[in-house]
């Protein structure tokens, strides 16, 4: 099952996160968890630094997550 989220991605060495759009995640997003998704033909794996709103599953809204890639 895929989980749709609005994703901001911060690359290693950068201070700003770039908005990628609404993307399907392979697993349910959890604060401080891992995010795995396809973007521009490649697999992206990173750490979920923020997840809003915290009750997204109960309210049925598409969550916004900030993902930080580590080197």
Nearest C-alpha neighbor of 67 from the set 27, 14, 11: 11
Helix or strand or coil: residue 56?
helix
CB atoms within 10 A of CB 41: 5
The pTM (predicted TM-score) of the whole model is 0.90
> What is each CA distance from 57 to 29, 31, 38, 64, in whole angstroms?
10, 13, 22, 12
Residue 67: pLDDT band with limits 50, 70, 90:
very high
For 11-58, the pLDDT digits (tens) are 999 989 999 999 999 899 999 999 999 999 999 999 999 999 999 999
The full set of domains in the chain, from first to last, is 3-68 (2.30.30)
């Amino acid at each position: 099952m895929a989980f749709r989220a609005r994703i901001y991605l911060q690359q290693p060495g950068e201070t700003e996160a770039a908005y990628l759009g609404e993307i399907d995640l392979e697993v349910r997003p959890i604060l401080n968890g891992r995010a795995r998704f396809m973007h521009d033909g490649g697999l992206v794996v990173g750490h979920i630094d923020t997840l809003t709103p915290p009750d997204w599953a109960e309210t049925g809204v598409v969550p916004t997550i900030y993902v930080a890639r580590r080197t």
